[in-house]
Amino acid sequence: MIECFPPIIDEDSRILIIGTMPSVKSLNAGEYYAHPRNAFWKIIAKLYHNGVEFSNFAEKKACILSHQLALWDNLKFCERNGSLDSNIKNMIPNDFETLLETHPHICRLIFNGQKSFQIFKKFHPQLLEKYQQFVLPSTSPANAALSFDKKLAFWLNGLEL
Instruction: Show the domain range for 134.
Output: 2-159
Determine the Cα–Cα distance for residues 114 and 119; give it in Å rounded to an integer. 9
Res 161: pLDDT: 56
Res 20: pLDDT: 94
Res 148: pLDDT: 95
Mean pLDDT by 10 residues, the chain (161 residues): 96 97 94 95 96 96 98 95 83 97 98 97 97 96 90 94 56
79 strand-pairing partners: 89
Q: What is the CA 134 to chain-centroid distance, rounded?
A: 12
CATH of the domain at 116: 3.40.470.10
DSSP 8-state symbol, 124: -
- pTM (two decimals): 0.95
Q: How many domains does the chain fold into?
A: 1
DSSP 8-state symbol, 84: -
Residue 107 near residue 15, CB atoms below 8 Å: yes
What stretch of H or E contains 43? helix 40-48
For the chain, helix (H) and strand (E) counts, in that order, are 7, 7
Determine the Cα–Cα distance for residues 72 and 98; give it in Å rounded to an integer. 13
What does DSSP say about strands 75-80 and 132-136: parallel, antiparallel, or unpaired? unpaired
Residue 31 near residue 125, CB atoms below 8 Å: no
Q: Which amino acid, residue 83? A: S
